[in-house]
Structure 1
Amino acid sequence: HVIYHLANAQWWGRPRNLERVELVGARNLIVAARAARVGRIITLSHIGASPSSAYTLLRVKGQVEEAVRASGLAYTVIRSGVVFGREDAFINHIAMMLQVNPVFFLMPGQGEVVLHPIYIDDLVTALVRSLDRMDTVDLTVEIGGAEYITLDDLLRTVMRVTGMYRMIIAVPPYALRWTTALYSRILRRSLMTPQWLDLLATNRAARSNALYDTFGIQPRRLEDTLLTYMAGKSYLLPSLRYSLRRRPRET
């Protein structure tokens, strides 16, 4: 038997939810997997994850990886670049923020951080294929999409695709973290969370062609794919629904 561990709380906006859902949840899952004599755990993580990371999201993901490796079970850790798709909570959140502010967009830093976006369908295919790829057992695999892109170029790509052109204002990351921490306390859900900023804190890119070399998948290009579902779409109602939606109940 094999378990796919995909649970995450990275968009909830509060570090304690990350630790409760992801780290404590992973440890509980490992105990249950041992009891049920599960043979292997395949877990999804982020490029840049490390138990010693200065950024909460990447640190917790690294601790989850560490727990899985120490479990005594066969494992595969798949670290991906930032994921995009019709219902993603990263690029869609950029579009929502562009929609609600018709004048400017606050960009953390100078936008020089390098990202490696991967389309959700390509990521799911990689997860499925990892089941039969014995060469990925007890291995950490890093995968990304078709191209590397800086945050600044990514923002301009989203503006071009959606037609929502805004002035980009570079803001020190620490100032945005203070702002998002405040928003996370005031709003039920904030479009920009500390964990969202963690994804932009450092360069996060896999080896070129890693997706094809490891899983035989030809990745889809970012802008071409965004054009198939983002062009002409209004993000006003989605942004309101998201911000007013209740957080998952804490137990």
Structure 2
Amino acid sequence: MFGGGGGGFAAAQGYGGGGGGFDQPEAAMNPPATQGLAGFLNDGGGRAQEAPQGGAKAVAHTLTPVTIRMLQDGVQEKRQNGMNMGPDESIRVNGRELHMLTLVACVEGMQMQQLGMIVTLNDGTGRMECQMYADSDAVSNGPDFQVGDYIRVYGHLRNWNDEDRITAHRISKIENPNEIAHHTIEVAHVHLSLTGRLVKAVKASPGGGGAVPFSGGQNFAAGPPPGGAGGT
């Protein structure tokens, strides 16, 4: 729909895919916030809000941005450890137990069933089915998306009859292509933060003029070495 479909960056680690986009008006260059490192769903189920203080209840409502590849890797890891998936079993993503999730993907197929609707998703890192039950607005009022559209899904990963599916609580059509790239960046940022690999900015020392020395090189803010620029 929006073009692209390339691997993005770090596709091998499950961050790539989706991609694409084109020039947008200034108002469209700022996609709405979705969730952050400790994002939580509010009553509306969409926008993130500030996380409350601690507690198991807060953890159970943590919203994590993911890719399909990350979900598949989490399921595979659990089975390799001799643990079976079940309807209420959870996997680990970013080294933590996964509860609520959100992902952005392209709709490859739609199938209406007696109990609801099955949507086949592909985000460039993998393919997975997503189920919405008949009592949800997207099913009872008719979906506002079609095959080829990009959508954002909020829900949980569930296993029924040995099939891994996302049970969606809410699905919204992507209107701004920048949200696709925004989600990819957000997935990478949260992953690096939770795994302790996010490099924090180095604060400039007082009187240092804000210069930061190069690793293994010369601090040019300190002036040339003794003997001139060429050294001795």
Tell me the TM-score range normalised by the shorter chain.
Answer: under 0.3
Q: Return the index of the structure with the highest Cα Rg.
A: 2
Q: Greater helix percent: which structure? A: 1
Q: TM-score, normalised by structure 2?
A: 0.23
Greater relative contact order: 1 or 2 (C-alpha under 8 angstroms, separation 6 or more)? Answer: 1
Q: TM-score, normalised by structure 1?
A: 0.22
Q: Greater strand percent: which structure? A: 2
